[in-house]
């Protein structure tokens, strides 16, 4: 008898079966950082991945660490199944983030910068008025993530005041990386950090005094918005009021130059009311993400990913109108391999078509200068009934969405902000068109935002259909969002917070029953995050019953695979590549009558219970086969950009090991976009 057979089967209540979500998120960021070290990738793209890892870490501190610190202050227990206290989790986070930041700057200084110099791209080493600190000039309010300098001084100023410490705040309008002109006897791509310029000229800011030290620093602040929706009579005004407070929320992290003296570092920690563990001393610019500008400023195609032209389904090329094309059958778009332009054309044609009576759309993130929004504005001006559900609380896009709401309202559109207590995260677009003897609903449903820029960077699915049941379902959901009263049951869509979670649980249980009866049983699911404990337990039960389960989870995964007697049949992998994996696809074998859904929702508590989400079926067999092949099988076969989650919570990078190298994203580029 094997050792595994002698081990008692763990209870599903065992907290050891659930990995910590914060540490899992940090593990994802480490996988992103590994891309910066991958010599198979173009050099400027590696720099970009380094910057992305820095940006990810910023948001991690602004949201996740800030929330944990608040739990420590209030004495609240940490959520989920982790038995550790918030303070214990923060300690583990501190240890891992310090290791991660050290590795980021090692990669910058020892890997990326030397490689850039070989390509003649160099960072050459060495405003607003300074703020002297005395009783009349207290420590200034430091903006979240802004570049600042703490300066130690000796001597007296023009008024006879003896200087000790001053703060120089770098204007936000200035670029942090500045290209040197060729006439300065520089190389073709020589850059200097703004911090180096300020260091060089800091003496000029304090005439008659001696600068004895100058050190850059940056504070990261709590960026959660706290809006009491029940009490707020005007949600928009309440969000606007919170946006200013976000810039000066409680500090959660302090970054300083590695040569900063202990005296100065401790002084700053006192000002921001932080502990020594919250201090990060870095060998380089305190904001790595600003180096992203170099990627755009350097015109070197050989150091970037090769360009590609997104493909178009043949029917959209040959049809006279997009409505005609949709009437011939459902159309599936796989971005960025296929173009986002048909979605924009859908709204534009609807805006110009005299037969179109109404357009209804949800907007979560759209980006500046949105072609979709332009088309909605034109439709409203043309007198069509335009209803837009805008989520004002889309994190870090709140201000942009407020401006968007104003623009649409001025054009005559009806703008609503969704349901109190629930974020509207579903991606839906409904066009009502008058046709012979009937009104027909044309629908677009997606896994990603109506954002033409991220549609070139994120993998997402979009479905264009005029299926009557789906059209009626979408119409009912919009009624929920724009009016009061109960809405009848949906026919084909699964909707959070009502049916999505329980319907997924039922389908997982159905696979378990098939396995127990000796029938083939399998689940393949792809998502950004897996956190919700009810789903995790259901997957454990299905695994115990013999269901083969493959999970493709980009970021956080709290499920622990490979536990004897619990998750032996579960495999988890993450793919990190050129494009950010964003598709959510759920496939159930169902004894040969397979079901497949695409969705805007991850398997997280917030998506199931605190957001308005939808999952939509892919019913046409040819499209279902295509999604399984493109989004599931190709990613399970990937052995160059995939990582496998191990039993201990670590990830192991997949390698070809003598087999043919496979890259899901690379293969899809060749197949759908015709890339070289």
Q: 294: which strand partners?
A: none
Dig out the tokens for 533 from the structure: 């404990």
Dump the DSSP string for 247-316.
TT--EEEEEEETT--HHHHHHHHHHHT--GGGEEEESS-S-GGGGHHHHHH---GGGSPPP---B--HHH
Q: Which of 528, 345, 344, 529 is nearest to 451 (CA)?
A: 344
Distance CA 305, CA 665 (A): 12
371 contacts 339 by C-beta, under 8 angstroms: no
Distance CA 116, CA 120 (A): 6
Q: Computed from CA positions of residues 242, 244, 250, 256, in that sequence, does the dihedral angle turn out positive or negative?
A: positive
- Burial (0-12, 13-18, 19+ Cβ within 10 Å), 141: exposed
Distance CA 282, CA 109 (A): 11
Q: Which of 124, 137, 192 is nearest to 168 (CA)?
A: 137
Q: Active site includes 425?
A: yes
Distance CA 676, CA 670 (A): 6
Neighbours of 421 (CB within 10 A): 9
153 φ, ψ (degrees, to nearest 5): -130, 155
Q: Can you tell me whether residue 331 is helix, strand or coil?
A: strand
496 contacts 472 by C-beta, under 8 angstroms: no
Distance CA 161, CA 208 (A): 12
* CA quadruple 661, 664, 668, 674: dihedral, nearest 10: -30
C-alpha dist (Å) from residue 261 to 2, 182, 207? 58, 37, 23
Choosing from 18, 199, 425, 444, which is the catalytic residue? 425
Q: Of how many residues is the chain composed?
A: 676
611 φ, ψ (degrees, to nearest 5): -135, 155
Distance CA 48, CA 380 (A): 40
Dump the DSSP string for 527-595.
ES-B--HHHHHHHHHHHHHT-EEEEEESS-B-B-TT-TTTSTTEEEEEE-SSSEE---EEEE-GGGS-E
Instruction: Tell me the catalytic residues.
Output: 425
């Amino acid at each position: 008898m094997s050792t595994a057979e002698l081990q008692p089967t763990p209870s599903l209540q065992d907290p050891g079966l659930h990995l910590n979500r914060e540490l899992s998120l940090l593990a994802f960021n480490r996988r992103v950082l590994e891309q910066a070290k991958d010599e198979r990738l173009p050099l400027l793209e590696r720099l970009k991945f380094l910057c992305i890892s820095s940006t990810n870490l910023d948001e991690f501190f602004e949201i996740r660490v800030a929330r944990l610190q608040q739990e420590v202050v209030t004495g609240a227990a940490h959520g989920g199944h982790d038995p550790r206290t918030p303070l214990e989790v923060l300690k583990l986070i501190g240890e891992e983030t310090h290791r991660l930041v050290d590795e980021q700057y090692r990669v910058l200084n020892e890997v990326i910068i030397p490689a850039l110099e070989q390509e003649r791209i160099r960072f050459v080493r060495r405003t607003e008025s300074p703020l002297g600190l005395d009783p009349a000039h207290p420590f200034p309010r430091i903006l979240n993530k802004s570049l600042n300098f703490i300066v130690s001084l000796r001597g007296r100023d023009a008024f006879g005041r003896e200087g000790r410490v001053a703060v120089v705040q770098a204007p936000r309008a200035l670029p942090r990386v500045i290209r040197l002109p060729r006439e300065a006897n520089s190389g073709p791509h020589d850059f200097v950090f703004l911090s180096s310029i300020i260091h060089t000229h800091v003496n000029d800011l304090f005439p008659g005094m001696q600068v004895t030290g100058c050190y850059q620093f940056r504070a990261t602040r709590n960026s959660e918005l706290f809006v009491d929706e029940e009490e707020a009579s005007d949600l928009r005004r309440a969000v606007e009021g919170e946006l200013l407070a976000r810039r000066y929320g409680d500090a959660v992290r302090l970054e300083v130059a590695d040569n900063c003296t202990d005296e100065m570092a401790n002084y700053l920690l006192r000002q921001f009311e932080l502990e020594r563990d919250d201090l990060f001393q870095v060998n380089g610019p305190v904001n790595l993400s600003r180096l992203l500008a170099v990627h755009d400023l350097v015109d070197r195609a050989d150091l970037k990913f090769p360009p590609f032209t997104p493909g178009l389904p043949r029917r959209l090329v040959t049809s006279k109108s997009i409505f005609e094309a949709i009437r011939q059958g459902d159309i599936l778009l796989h971005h960025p391999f296929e173009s986002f332009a048909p979605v924009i054309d859908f709204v534009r044609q609807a805006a110009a078509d005299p037969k179109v009576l109404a357009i209804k759309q949800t907007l979560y993130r759209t980006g500046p200068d949105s072609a979709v929004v332009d088309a909605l504005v034109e439709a409203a001006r043309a007198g069509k009934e335009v209803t837009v559900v805008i989520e004002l609380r889309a994190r870090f896009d709140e201000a942009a969405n407020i401006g968007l709401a104003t623009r649409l309202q001025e054009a005559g559109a009806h703008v609503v902000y969704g349901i109190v207590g629930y974020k509207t995260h579903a991606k839906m677009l409904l066009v009502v068109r008058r046709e012979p003897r009937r009104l027909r609903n044309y629908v677009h449903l997606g896994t990603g935002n109506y954002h033409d820029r991220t549609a070139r960077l994120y993998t997402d699915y979009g479905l264009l259909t005029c299926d009557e049941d789906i059209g009626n379902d979408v119409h009912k959901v919009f009624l929920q969002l724009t009016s009061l009263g109960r809405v009848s049951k949906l026919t084909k869509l699964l909707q959070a917070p009502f049916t999505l979670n329980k319907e997924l649980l039922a389908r997982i249980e159905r696979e378990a029953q098939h396995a127990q009866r000796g029938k083939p049983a399998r689940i393949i699911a792809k998502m950004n995050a897996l956190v919700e404990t009810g789903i995790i337990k259901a997957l454990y039960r299905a695994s115990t019953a013999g269901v083969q389960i493959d999970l493709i989870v980009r970021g956080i995964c709290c499920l622990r695979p490979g536990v004897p007697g619990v998750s032996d049949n579960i495999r988890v992998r993450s793919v990190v590549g050129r494009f950010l994996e964003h598709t959510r696809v759920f496939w159930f074998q169902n004894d040969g009558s397979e079901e497949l859904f695409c969705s805007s929702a991850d398997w997280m508590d917030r998506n199931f219970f605190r957001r308005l989400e939808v999952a939509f079926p892919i019913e046409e067999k040819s499209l279902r086969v295509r999604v399984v092949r493109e989004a599931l099988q190709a990613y399970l076969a990937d052995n160059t950009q995939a990582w496998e989650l191990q039993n201990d919570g670590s990830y192991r990078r997949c390698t070809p090991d003598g087999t043919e190298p496979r890259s899901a994203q690379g293969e899809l580029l060749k197949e759908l976009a015709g890339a070289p």
